[in-house]
Structure 1
Amino acid sequence: MTRLVMFLALFISNLAIAQDEIYTGYFSNKALSGYDTVAYFTDHKPVEGSDKFVTEYKGADWYFASQEHLDMFKAEPEKYAPQYGGYCAWAISAKSDFASADPKKWAVVDGKLYLNYDEKVKQMWDQNQALHIKQADANWPALIRKK
């Protein structure tokens, strides 16, 4: 029994470390749960993408509401992709750990898109965005190297 517990602890620990660079959830390969990442910048709100306008980037499928948005993303993916791979910006900052993010809990700060886990977490992140961005920027490279 002890060996089983140790095996499970090691297995779960390794799963926690082996995160994809882009958050897609467990049962999908959709970045941002299929929301159009360009729309945050052009429409200033979350807009669901269409399976008519899809591209692959960094191992994830990105959906867009229009051909125009798809073309904009393809031309400058780093400009439109969310920071920290679409994981919760507060978790990357405050916990130096991965957490899922809700594409409806977002902010564009200095031309960059940030997502958060839920409304409560977003409120905490909003209290000091600059500090959280600075901390997350410092934490992110080490988290990705753990892959």
Structure 2
Amino acid sequence: MIRTILATLLLSLTAPLAHAQDWALGGMDPVSYGADNAAVPGRRDLVTLWQGQAWHFASEDNRSTFESNPRAYAPGLNGLCVVALSEGRPEPGNPRYFVVIGKRTYFMRSEAARQKFLADPQRVLRSAEARWASTHH
């Protein structure tokens, strides 16, 4: 009996950690990037599963907005760092370092990469998109 209780308790403590790996955008609310121009952590209790990942939201309104058109809120270039990709290296971006261009959110790997992007966004984005297109078509 005690073994069962301990096993259940241990499983309940480790389960959120295992599932955290499947959190899209590191748990950031995808709608907040465009709506608030901020990386806002989503709540554990406001979740939608999409494309095999758990997308978290800061509010019920943001979750509803996302659910109406999830592709519109997915990061550009599949969340890769725009600067690294423009330089030929497909590296993951960090959801805390972002820029919204039009209605699309793009991630960078660091604040230094974000500053490099902001120095010439058109050129960097064009180069990254060209490299992305050559590997995904």
Compute the TM-score of the two structures, normalised by the length of structure 2: 0.77
The equivalent position to 2:63 in structure 1, one of 66, 70, 81, is 70
Q: Which amino acid aligns with 2:48?
A: T
Structure 2: how far apart are the matches of 1:45 and 1:139? 27
Considering only CA atoms, is the larger Rg found in Structure 1 or Structure 2? Answer: 2
The equivalent position to 2:43 in structure 1, one of 20, 42, 50, is 50
Q: CA RMSD in A?
A: 1.7
Give 2:129's aligned residue: 137
The equivalent position to 1:88 in structure 2, one of 60, 81, 86, is 81
Higher helix share: 2
* Bigger RCO of structures 1 and 2 (CA < 8 A, at least 6 apart): 1
The 5 Å alignment of 1:115-126 reads: 115-126=107-118
Structure 1: which 4+ aligned runs deviate by more than 3 Å? 141-145
Could you list the runs of 5+ residues in structure 2 that have no partner in the other structure? 1-19
TM-superposed CA distance for 1:144, in Å, is 4.3
TM-superposed CA distance for 1:60, in Å, is 2.1
How many pairs align?
Answer: 118
Contact 1:31 1:86 in 2 (8 A): no
The 5 Å alignment of 1:11-22 reads: none
Compute the TM-score of the two structures, normalised by the length of structure 1: 0.73
Identity %: 28
Give 1:6's aligned residue: none
